[in-house]
Amino acid sequence: MRYLTATGLFALLVALAGCGGSSDLPSPGYGSPDLKAVAGRFHSKESNRTVSGEQMPLQFVDTNGKEVDLTSFRGKSNVVLVVVKGMPRYPGGLFCPGCLAQVNALTANHDEFKKRNAEILMVFPGPKDKLPQFLHDGKVDGEGGNPSVPFALLLDTDLKAVNALGIKGDLAKPSTYILDKKGNAIFAFVGEDTTDRPSVQSLLDRLDKLNGKK
């Protein structure tokens, strides 16, 4: 009978730990992921979900404890709703690289979304106390570790929104939605692994089309 050594067992755990079952995540031994390289693997696929109007009136709480209702944006702006996976899975506390790359890319391109009258809302389904580390790993934290993203960070700790959207994974599957000014979801994509999510450019192109520019 063959037995696993301690080293072999750790390697097995690293191989099994992942983000949505993907095997393309780096081991903690390789340090922080190259976020731009990870974002470069995002895509421009079409919607893979249909979301009815009844599903989208969702409520969240922001990091200051203020309630945020998606219906409050109707008649005012388009909305890009991004749900990340939440808590880390890897030994050593490494978050999903795709989620880190996504928050980094959205932060860097926030002005382009504002030009298209779109509000970015990012939903973190994990515990609030994990959020500072997530932002730090995504290289978007400010001095003193304070969040410095230019868009709203929302919490869904009880997973009500995740369950309503049918995107439950370990916590949530990486999901992206575009809502028009009427609150209709004109784009909905639910990823199956860490890089299976729309690129920033594809989202901007869809907003241009929504605004009648393309």
Give a yes or no: residue 129 inside a domain: yes
Q: Which two tokens stand for residue 76?
A: 């005012």
Structure tokens at 37: 């390289």
Inside any domain, residue 153: yes
Per-residue pLDDT of the chain (214 residues; tens, 9 = 90+): 444 444 343 333 333 344 444 444 444 444 678 999 999 999 999 999 988 766 677 899 999 999 999 999 999 999 999 999 987 766 567 788 999 999 999 999 999 999 999 999 999 998 888 888 899 899 986 666 666 899 999 999 889 999 989 999 878 999 999 999 999 999 999 999 989 999 999 999 999 999 998 6
Whether residue 186 lies inside any domain: the answer is yes
- Shortest CA distance to 49 belongs to which of 205, 200, 198? 198
Neighbours of 182 (CB within 10 A): 10
Q: Which two tokens mark 28?
A: 């903690």
User: What's the number of domains the chain is made of?
Assistant: 1
190: which DSSP letter? E
How does DSSP assign 134-180, residue by residue? HHHHTT-B-GGG-B--SSEEEE-TT-HHHHHHT--SSS---EEEEE-
Pairing of strands 78-83, 67-69: unpaired
The domain that holds 12 is classified in CATH as 3.40.30.10
Q: Confirm whether 49 is domain-assigned.
A: yes
Residue 123: strand pairing partners: 83, 154
Q: What is the pLDDT of residues 12-66, one digit of tens each?
A: 333 334 444 444 444 444 467 899 999 999 999 999 998 876 667 789 999 999 9
The DSSP annotation for 84-125 comes to ---S--STT-PPPHHHHHHHHHHHHTHHHHHHTTEEEEEEE-
In a domain, 198, yes or no: yes
Half-sphere exposure of 25 (CA within 13 A, CB side): 28
Residue 1 counted as domain residue: no
How far is 99 from 194, CA to CA, in rounded Å? Answer: 7
Q: How far apart are CA 152 and CA 97, in angstroms?
A: 21
How much of the chain is in helix, strand and coil states, percent to nearest 5? 35, 20, 45
Q: What residue numbers bound the domain in which 42 lies?
A: 6-210
